[in-house]
Structures are given as C-alpha cells and as structure tokens.
C-alpha cells in the first residue's frame, strides 16, 4: 500500500495539472468564440462570390477557363489543414487518418500525389512517413487574417495552374458545434461542382467574361481555402476546449479517489498505532 506521503504528493500534482487544463480550457473557449465569429464574418463574402461565380460560369458556357475544366489526372494534390499544437483531443488524428487512408487506397506510388501541409502536426506526420510534401506552412495565427493566408492560397492555386498537380482536394475538420466536428473532403480544383444559384442573373461583362474569370476564379479558390481554414480553426479550438474540459473532469475524479485512499490510509495508520499502544500496555501488565 502506498504511503501517506506518496498519496499526498499525487493529489498535489493532479491538482496542479487540473489547474493548467482548466486555464487551457478557458483560453480555448475565448479563442473558439472569436474563431466562430470570424467564420461568421466570412459567410457574406463567400455567398456573394459563389453567386457571381455561379452566374458567370453557368451563364456563359462558352467561357472556358483552365480552372473550370477537368484534365487527365497524373498527379493529385492534397491540402491538409491541421493545427500547430497538440492537446486537442482527436482533432488532428481524425483528419490525418482519413487523408492517410484515402491516399493509401487511391495511389500506388509516392509520385502520384503531393501534399500541401498547413500546420506543424500534419507536416511532421507526412514528413515522418516520407510522403511528398511540396509546401508546408506552420505558425498560422489563431485568428488568421485573409492577408496572411493569401500567399499560401495563391501558391496552392498557382501549383494547379503550372501543372504541379491536376486536381486539388482539401481536407479539414468542419465545425458543426462545440462538441462535434467532422472531417471533410472537398474538391477544390478544378472548380467543377459550383453551386448554381437559384436566381441566375445575366451580367454585362466589362471588358469580357474571360478576363473576369481570370480575376474571379483565383480569388474564389483562394477564398475557399480561407473558408476551410477558418472552419478548421473554429473546430480546433472547440476540440481543444472539449479535450481540456474532459481532462479537468478526469483530474477531479482522480483527486476524489486519491483523497478517499488517503483518508483510508490515514485511518489505517491511526488504528494501527492504537493497536500497538494497547498491545504494548497489555504486555506490560
């Protein structure tokens, strides 16, 4: 049986851990709030750009742009969004497991795909397995501004245009609610599954449809990447918050069971002492 002092020190260390996890939970809660707000602020932009892209791409079928047309796939790109830090429960491993399984089932050799990793955890995962990571970005702020993402997004779009890969999928954790997130796969490029808006508007183009698509489509693709990133940031903080709350709860439970053990051990020690004294007194008589 563990000594009194051992149990005591276990209780103290568990208490300290629970203080840390509690603090981390509150930090994540604040970040999660901001993250959800950012994701909401982005919605009007996304809706509008989707509407315009849909109207133009569907309205003028003769306007064919390289980004709209599927070409034979020699190489597939995967854009994987993970976090920089761990301690977020199954947040990262869920995304990585799905990407890994998909790649294993779709491709036979390492030359058939390349990976763009956002986030340190994902980068390390793929680097350790010797997979082809063409672009890696770590250290993205918790509340990313569009300007920070633009470089990443435009280089991802650029790699599609210059033929580094012929299609691009994005994998991220879609935010549903504080306790539920879902790994999502989205085909980013070519832009084949554009939602056709319900109210089609026929536009005048100034100067012409092709030139507008040249400006519009990269901007659209970039904003899809940004949207996925905001979504996954909200999920990350929600996942971390839940994980930390569970950790705090578990610590409380542990402390309770240790306290019980401690009290029992204390009681046992007292009983033993009394027995010894009584025994000693009896021996003297």
Partner 1 sequence: MKTIKVSVVTPDGPVYESDVEMVSTKAQTGELGILPGHIPMVAPLQIGAVRMKIANKTEIVAVSGGFLEVRPDQVTILAQAAETSDEINLERALRAKERAEQRLRERQQEHVDFRRAELALQRAINRISVAQGK
Binding site for partner 1 (CB under 8 A): 38, 41-42, 44-45, 48-49, 52, 56, 145-147, 150, 201-207, 211-212, 215-216, 219, 222-223, 226
The partner residues of 76 in beta bridges, in order of sequence, read 113, 167
Least distance in Å: CB of 114 to partner 1? 21
Closer residue to partner 1 (CB): 45 or 71: 45
Phi, psi torsion values for 270, nearest 5 degrees: -65, -45
Task: Tell the smallest beta-carbon distance from residue 256 to partner 1 (Å).
Answer: 46
In the complex with partner 1, the residue whose CB is nearer, 102 or 150, is 150
Closest to partner 1 by CB, 100 or 146: 146
Give 4 or 194: the residue with its C-beta nearer to partner 1.
Answer: 194
Query: Distance between alpha carbon 149 and the CA centroid of its chain, in Å?
Result: 16
CB of residue 148 to partner 1, shortest distance in Å: 11
The Cα-based distances of 256 to 12, 227, 261, 270, 274 in angstroms read 12, 44, 9, 21, 27
Give the C-alpha separation, 148 to 80, whole Å: 17
Q: Min. distance of Cβ 154 from partner 1 in angstroms? A: 10
Minimum Å gap between C-beta 134 and partner 1 is 18
Q: Cα–chain-centroid distance for residue 248? A: 22
**Shortest distance (Å) from residue 67 CB to partner 1:** 16
Q: Which is nearer to partner 1, 1 or 147 (CB)?
A: 147
**DSSP per position, 106-173:** H-SSGGGEEEEEESHHHHHHHHHTT--EEEEE----SS--HHHHHHHHHHHHHHHHTTS-SEEEEEEE
User: How is residue 268 annotated by DSSP?
Assistant: H
Q: Which is nearer to partner 1, 130 or 207 (CB)?
A: 207
Residues 6+ apart with CB under 8 A from 140: 84, 118, 119, 148, 149, 229
């Amino acid at each position: 049986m563990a000594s009194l002092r051992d149990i005591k020190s276990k209780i103290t260390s568990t208490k300290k851990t629970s203080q840390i996890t509690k603090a981390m939970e509150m930090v994540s809660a604040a970040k999660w709030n901001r993250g959800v707000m950012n994701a909401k602020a982005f919605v009007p932009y996304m809706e509008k750009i989707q509407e315009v892209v849909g109207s133009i791409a569907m309205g003028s079928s003769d306007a064919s742009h390289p980004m709209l047309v599927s070409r034979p796939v020699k190489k597939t790109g995967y854009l994987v969004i993970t976090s920089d830090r761990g301690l977020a429960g199954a947040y990262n491993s869920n995304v990585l497991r799905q990407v890994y399984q998909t790649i294993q089932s779709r491709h036979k050799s390492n030359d058939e795909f390349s990976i763009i990793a956002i986030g340190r955890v994902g980068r390390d995962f793929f680097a350790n397995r010797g997979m082809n990571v063409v672009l890696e970005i770590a250290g993205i702020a918790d509340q990313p501004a569009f300007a920070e993402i633009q470089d990443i997004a435009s280089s991802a779009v650029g790699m599609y245009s210059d033929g580094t890969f012929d299609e691009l999928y994005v994998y991220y954790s879609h935010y549903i609610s504080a306790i539920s997130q879902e790994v999502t796969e989205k085909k980013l490029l070519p832009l084949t599954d554009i939602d056709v808006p319900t109210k089609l508007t026929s536009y005048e183009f100034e100067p012409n449809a092709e030139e507008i698509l040249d400006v519009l489509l990269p901007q659209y693709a970039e904003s899809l990447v940004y949207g996925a990133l905001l979504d996954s940031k909200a999920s990350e903080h929600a996942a971390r918050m839940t994980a930390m709350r569970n950790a705090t709860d578990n610590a409380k439970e542990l402390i309770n069971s240790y306290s019980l053990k401690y009290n029992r051990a204390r009681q046992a020690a007292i009983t033993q002492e009394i027995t010894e004294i009584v025994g000693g007194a009896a021996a003297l008589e």
